[in-house]
Amino acid sequence: MNEQPNNPLHGITLEQLLTRLVDHYGWAELGQEIDIRCFNWEPSIKSSLKFLRKTPWAREKVEALYLCTNFDAKE
């Protein structure tokens, strides 16, 4: 397995990342931060994962939001 010491997302699955963002922001605020349909219309982890796995630009936005979120501030 390749080591990725400089990748801050190494070892975090997309599902873990998305679940943590939803727990922190909630669907409504997450949909405001990143305006994509799967966050704003009948949101679910399953449908969002399906979309994000097929849409690189949306996944990049979600990963960027995850990296700049201060989870300690609300939790």
Say if 31 falls within a structural domain.
yes
Helix 14-33 and helix 56-68, axial crossing angle in degrees, nearest 10: 90
CATH number at residue 32: 1.10.720.30
Instruction: Give domain status of residue 8, yes or no.
Output: no
Q: State CA 37 to chain mean position distance.
A: 14
The DSSP letter of residue 35 is -
pLDDT tens for residues 11-44? 899 999 999 999 999 999 999 999 999 999 999 9
Is residue 9 assigned to a domain? no
- Helix or strand or coil: residue 1? coil
Domain count, the chain: 1
Domain presence at residue 6? no
Q: pLDDT-based confidence at 58, cuts 50/70/90?
A: very high
Within a domain: 30: yes
Is residue 33 situated within a structural domain? Answer: yes
C-beta separation of 73 from 29 below 8 A:
no
Structure tokens of 18?
Answer: 């998305």
Task: Supply the range of the domain harboring residue 20.
Answer: 14-74
